[in-house]
Amino acid sequence: MRIKNYLAFLLIMTLCFCGSAASLLAQVNQQRSMITLGKLSAEFERLSKSVSPAIVQILATGYVPGVNQINALTKQRSTGSGVVLDANGFIITNAHVVEGARRVQVALNANEIQNGRKGSILKARGEIVGAQIVGIDRETDLAVLKVDKSNLPFLKLGDSDTVQKGQLVLAFGSPLGLENSVTMGIVSSIARQLRPEDRMIYIQTDAPINPGSSGGPLVDTHGNVIGINTLIFSQSGGSEGIGFAAPSNIVKNVYNQIRATGRVRRGEIGVSVQTITPLLATGLDLPRVGRVVIADVEPYSPAATAGLRIGDIILSLDRKAMENGRQFDVNLYSRSVGDHVILEIRRGEIDKIIKVEIRERPNDPGRFADMVSPERNLIPRLGILALDLDETISRMLPPLRVKTGVVVANRANLLYEQDELLPGDVIHFVNNQEINSLEDLKAFVGSLAAFDAVVFQVERRGQLKYISFEME
């Protein structure tokens, strides 16, 4: 009996001990989880504090047609976001944030104004300064601004090629005008194309992005800018977890070119490529290596000069394996004119390494921007810089249906975004009056009064069209 009682006692003690140990272990695990969550929260706080000083709000003012008034313009204000990329005041934002604006201002972060001194949680609004538009690139929807400030906090552009699906990211900006907000999410997808065969790609994220966030940075956990928030897919007009950011490697190319020359020169090597499908491989008896084949080589192009041929299989571009034709075009898209790329190709049974120079796209209307100056070519009331249509300029354009006129070389800000003159447009007539020279255009525009109706007949890529608006 005593033995049975003793064994029962031991069993009870063992169960009590195990219960206590389990309870203690649960408490330890809970404390560890709380410590881990606390550290994670502290890291996000630190990251937000380090990034926020470089975030700015963009304030744009322009004019649109009055809603209930005839022949009248209404002033319209809009806001967006931007990020300082250089201590001397260079800022990247979206083109659609500032395009069409007559006046652009930047609200700097209040933290920068306070020089780091600790104060009230209700921060005063940052200093508002005027901004100059250095250049706009509509193809990527990016713009570079410059403010007359120095020693500004700034962020660095990271390497978007290293971004992975599922990666944690933070989105900074001024959604709905709420300046310097931050949201968190993950990378939903990389290299997202919004249109078939489009060279422009985006990083997709579920970090909440709303109107007003455009131009703000998408930041990784190291504080590097991996993208510029550009647009959302939404049925409600607000964030539904489908946002898109221009990848930082494309942003870097655009930013550096605009900062250096005021515009972006697009590059190519003069080939047309296709993805190798099973049918293509069988019909052409292609070797079972590589997935991209050269379908065409333009005569006298850099590709032809370097020795590339139709039927060559592209294995890699700058040591990056090429998996499809779209990837090849996308990787070339971020390269600058004058750069070189290294292609590894298979020709028959032989592998070759070929170095090819990137040239400027033929017929790129942006080329005209290098041929003008504000002193000679600016027409302030139209917000354009224009050139006389001479033989040299004509050879740079597609065949023209009308041989006289003035070429739009570059544009700053026009009255309405929906009615705009674009680089490469040839102005033939204004209000049925033939325009033969830049002086003709300047004189006619100078004779117009405010709110006069203006109708341009222009030729754009071989087609004639009317562009109409009211003079400001």
Catalytic residues: 96, 141, 214
Do 419 and 369 meet the contact criterion of CB atoms below 8 Å apart? no
Q: What's the CA gap between 58 and 211, in Å, rounded? A: 13
Burial level of 190, CB count in 10 A (0-12/13-18/19+)? Answer: middle
Question: For residue 36, how many C-alpha atoms fall within 13 Å in the half-sphere facing its CB?
Answer: 6
Burial level of 388, CB count in 10 A (0-12/13-18/19+)? Answer: middle
> For residue 108, what are the CA distances in angstroms to 13, 94, 119, 298?
67, 17, 17, 49
Do 185 and 205 meet the contact criterion of CB atoms below 8 Å apart? yes
8-state DSSP, 28:
H
Do 218 and 225 meet the contact criterion of CB atoms below 8 Å apart? yes
Amino acid at 45: E
Question: For residue 392, how many C-alpha atoms fall within 13 Å in the half-sphere facing its CB?
Answer: 5
SS3 state at 258: helix
Do 104 and 145 meet the contact criterion of CB atoms below 8 Å apart? yes
SS3 state at 210: coil
> For residue 10, what are the CA distances in angstroms to 17, 79, 238, 331?
10, 74, 65, 72
Q: Phi and psi (nearest 5°) for 315?
A: -90, -40
* Tokens 């109706």 found at: 453
SS3 state at 155: coil
8-state DSSP, 106:
E
* Tokens 């065969």 found at: 197
Helices (H), 63-176: 95-98, 110-113
Stated as kind and residue range, the H or E segment containing 261 is helix 248-261
Burial level of 98, CB count in 10 A (0-12/13-18/19+)? Answer: buried
